[in-house]
Amino acid sequence: MPLAFLRWSVLLLLCLVASSALAGEAKVRRTKAKAKGTKLVRLKGGELLHHAAAAAFQRMSTEARAEGVSLRVTSGYRSRREQRWLYDRYRKGLGPKAARPGRSNHQRGLALDLVVGDVTTPTYDWLASNACRFGFRRTVQSEPWHWEYRPRTTRAPEAGQDCLGRDVGVETAPEPVANKDAS
Ligand SMILES: [Zn+2]
């Protein structure tokens, strides 16, 4: 009888230790997530973005690809340290314009730099015509590559128009053509 009691005691003790250890681990995880503040998601190309911006970007990228435009991200989320490095380079005349640390939406994971070339390329035109439907818009006059996710203040186009207010022709399905040698 005392032996059985001892066994149960040991078992109970083990349970208590295990559960307190698990509780401790959960606590640590929560604290980490809170400290970070922003849930970041890694895009296919490797860049990180705020999870909501990443989801919107994935939808936009999929639609662009279906229309023959590939959207490549060269810079998404930046830590304060990365922003500081870019800003210092800019100040020394060694790199492109960069905002002062704390002043860039890249640090919130809400800004992304895309390979667009200039404002005359098909990629830029696609973005200018469509990005607003996904909550993205340009915010820096001199940087056609810099787009920010601002769904609350970005207006969706009127029905039948694109983001530039141009009429979007209703696409008519092409006449079916009989094709003998289908591949
Ligand atoms: Zn940027």
CATH number of the domain bearing residue 136: 3.30.1380.10
Half-sphere exposure in the Cβ direction for 133 (13 Å, CA): 20
Report the pLDDT value the prediction gives residue 59, as an integer from 0 to 100.
98
In a domain, 180, yes or no: no
Q: How far apart are CA 115 and CA 144, in angstroms?
A: 9
State the pLDDT at residue 81: 97
Residue numbers of the domain that contains 66: 51-77+110-149
Q: How far is the CA of 114 from the centre of ligand 1 (A)?
A: 8
136 and 148 in contact (C-beta within 8 Å)?
yes
Tokens of 119: 């404002």
Q: How far is the CA of 50 from the centre of ligand 1 (A)?
A: 14
pLDDT value for 24: 45
| Angle, helix 122-130 to helix 51-66, in steps of 10 degrees | 120
- What is the rounded CA–CA span in Å between residue 25 and residue 64? 42
Model pLDDT, residue 137: 97
Going from the Cα of 167 to the center of ligand 1, the distance in angstroms, rounded, reads: 30
Q: Which amino acid is at 171?
A: E
* CA 113 to centroid of ligand 1, rounded, Å: 5
Q: Is residue 58 part of a domain?
A: yes
On the CB side of 23, CA atoms within 13 Å amount to 6
Q: What separation in Å is there between the alpha carbon of 140 and the centre of ligand 1?
A: 9
Query: What pLDDT, on the 0 to 100 scale, is given for residue 85?
Result: 97
User: What is the total count of domains within the chain?
Assistant: 1
The answer to whether position 31 is within a domain reads: no
Residue 32 has a pLDDT of: 38
The answer to whether position 135 is within a domain reads yes
Nearest of 102, 113, 53 to residue 79 by alpha carbon:
102
Structure tokens at 148: 């920010």
Residue 119 sits at the vertex; the CA angle it makes with 159 and 40, to the nearest 5 degrees, is: 75
Using CA atoms, how far apart are residues 164 and 54, in angstroms rounded to an integer?
Answer: 23
- Identify whether 30 is part of a domain: no
Domain membership flag for residue 114: yes
Residue 8 lies inside a defined structural domain of this protein: no
Judged by phi (left if over 0) then psi (alpha if -120 to 50, else beta), residue 45 lies in alpha
Q: What pLDDT was estimated at residue 71?
A: 97
In a domain, 120, yes or no: yes
Tell me how far the alpha carbon of residue 72 lies from the centroid of ligand 1, in angstroms.
13
Residue 30, pLDDT score: 40
Q: pLDDT tens, position by position, for the chain (183 residues)?
A: 566 666 766 555 555 555 555 444 444 444 333 335 679 999 998 999 999 999 999 999 999 999 999 999 999 999 999 999 999 999 999 998 899 999 999 999 999 999 999 999 999 999 999 999 999 999 999 999 999 999 999 999 999 999 999 999 766 556 666 555 655
